[in-house]
């Protein structure tokens, strides 16, 4: 009897994560659409019910070790496998480095980079044991090209790029594929969810002209 394929997607409340979760479910994967805030799951649950999809919404905060471990352990114990992990959770914090607090920079990396690392560390032993699996990391065109007033975000994506490329060679002998996706501008609510350094909004900021132009 063939086992069902299981997929886990982070940051599924909207945008790329939302659409990816539905696409996987519609193509035969038992899909876990994970998100930090379950209050944002209403639309996903409506579509799942309407289309009779094998999809479950699951609370998972990529910045919390226990949240990640609890979610992945639950999925693994229930299905005995995880075939696809899509690391999509992330956000953009705009602002010049000079005007971003260290806490803001660390928080940016905690979600965009370390969040992905947490999930990978949790699923790799499962995939290695089953000798198969696909890890998809959502980077950005910002993982290839620097952008002014976007150093924290771009830095987090550059880090994910190097990490993913190195890990690809570590894991290929175990039948695990690592795929890196570098999308450009996509019409989602990503921009609306971006955060802006407050100092950059001050007309006295030396970076005010940059901010005004939206560069």
Q: Catalytic residues, which ones?
A: 153
How far apart are the C-alpha atoms of 20 and 199, rounded to whole Å? Answer: 35
Q: CB 66: neighbour CB atoms within 10 A? A: 8
- Indicate the DSSP class of residue 9: E
The answer to whether 126 and 76 have CB atoms below 8 angstroms apart is yes
Separation CA 33–CA 20 (nearest Å): 9
DSSP 201: G
Q: First CA to last CA across the chain, in angstroms? A: 55
């Amino acid at each position: 009897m063939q086992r069902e394929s299981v997929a886990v997607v982070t940051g599924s409340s909207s945008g790329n994560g939302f659409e990816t979760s539905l696409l996987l479910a519609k193509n035969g994967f038992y899909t876990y659409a994970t998100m930090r805030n379950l209050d944002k799951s209403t639309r996903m649950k409506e579509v799942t019910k309407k289309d009779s999809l094998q999809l479950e919404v699951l609370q998972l905060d990529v910045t919390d070790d226990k949240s990640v471990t609890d979610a992945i352990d639950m999925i693994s114990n229930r299905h005995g496998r995880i075939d696809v992990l899509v690391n999509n959770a992330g956000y953009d914090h705009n602002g010049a480095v000079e005007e971003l607090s260290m806490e803001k920079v660390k928080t940016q990396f905690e979600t965009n980079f370390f969040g992905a690392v947490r999930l990978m560390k949790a699923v790799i032993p499962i995939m290695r044991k089953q000798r198969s699996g696909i890890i998809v990391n959502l980077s950005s065109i910002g993982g290839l090209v620097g952008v002014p007033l976007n150093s924290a975000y771009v830095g987090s994506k550059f880090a994910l790029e190097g990490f993913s490329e190195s890990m690809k060679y570590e894991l290929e002998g175990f039948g695990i594929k690592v795929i890196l996706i570098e999308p450009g501008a996509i019409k989602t609510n990503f921009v609306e969810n971006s955060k802006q350094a407050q100092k950059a909004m001050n007309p006295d900021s030396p970076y005010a002209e940059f901010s005004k132009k939206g560069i």
